[in-house]
Amino acid sequence: MNVETITTPGGIDLAFDRIVGGDTGTVILVGGAFSYRKFPKMVELAQKLADEYGLTIVNYDRRGRGDSTDSPGVYDVENEIDDLAALVEAVGGKAAIFGWSSGAGLALLAAASRRIPGITKVVAFEPPFITNHENFVPPADLAATLHEMIAADRRADVVRYYMANAMGMPRLFAAIMRLTPFWKGLLATAPATAHDWAIMGPYMRGETLRPDDWASVEVPTLVISGGKSGALLRTAARAIADVLPNARHEEVTKLSHNPNIELLAPVSGEFLVGAERFAA
């Protein structure tokens, strides 16, 4: 597989892999915090959707990850929507969007922007909205602290800080990640967490989601949560599905935020190809 690249009107080089499975449609995969196109589960999901559902999958590096370039110090969700618009245009002008975690937030905001008329469907897997104060709410100064760490290239600190303070992971878990094989990838993508926060920060304050903010997401949307995920993510999935005008929510038993692709792919693929159970 040869990597493809485009340069967006904003001057960002985006790298992506295209996996051609058939003629049932094109789907762009949008990863979340610390994710990139070579992340093993993104690769596995791409291949499975192509092989089993005849979809053409575009798996790209968001800005600041993998082989894509970045805009250091400039963190604005509108820029990532522009990136996605350029990518949709480059792969044929029409595509469904599958987003995971903050990537799901980006997919929904892109659809809400109405700046990408080529979006045909959205699959949002566990967007991490925080709609109450029952579990965890990030600190109010998170953006300032995060930007300071990134500017100083304190990557290990960024990983630990973002995991504990933006994602709500136990601090011990964040600390022991440096002992795992994933640590190198976490350090490489750490600066891009500022983009994730630009997307999700306004919706992680413990406030109820407002229907007016999402009324323009008119494309068919599937919100997926896992039965093994924490209460925060399961609540978030129900909350966003409730305010979207054309959405349904599916909770998959035994699925978690670190998903088993054998469980995630079928519900996603069936929705994307218009299987009968999603026709109503």
Provide the CATH number for the domain formed by 4-130+208-278 in this structure. Answer: 3.40.50.1820
Q: How many C-beta neighbours within 10 Å does residue 128 have?
A: 23
Hey, where are the domains in the chain? 4-130+208-278, 142-199
pLDDT, tens digit, 9 for 90 and up, residues 15-67: 999 999 999 999 999 999 999 999 999 999 999 999 999 999 999 999 999 99
Closest CA to 35 of 57, 59, 18: 59
Distance in angstroms (rounded) separating the CA atoms of residues 236 and 223 = 10
- The token duo for 137 is 């709410």
Spatial neighbors of 87 by CB under 8 A, at least 6 apart, are: 6, 14, 16, 28, 58, 60, 95
Q: Identify which has the larger pLDDT, 279 or 88.
A: 88
pLDDT, tens digit, 9 for 90 and up, residues 203-260: 999 999 999 999 999 999 999 999 999 999 999 999 999 999 999 999 999 999 999 9
Distance in angstroms (rounded) separating the CA atoms of residues 237 and 45 = 20
Q: Evaluate whether 237 touches 251 at the Cβ level (below 8 Å).
A: yes
Closest CA to 250 of 270, 226, 231: 226
What DSSP element (H or E) covers 262? helix 261-272
Q: Evaluate whether 104 touches 176 at the Cβ level (below 8 Å).
A: no
Q: What is the three-class DSSP state of 30?
A: strand
Distance in angstroms (rounded) separating the CA atoms of residues 270 and 152 = 45
Kindly report the pTM of this predicted structure: 0.97
pLDDT, tens digit, 9 for 90 and up, residues 178-202: 888 889 999 999 999 999 999 999 9
- The token duo for 121 is 């469907």
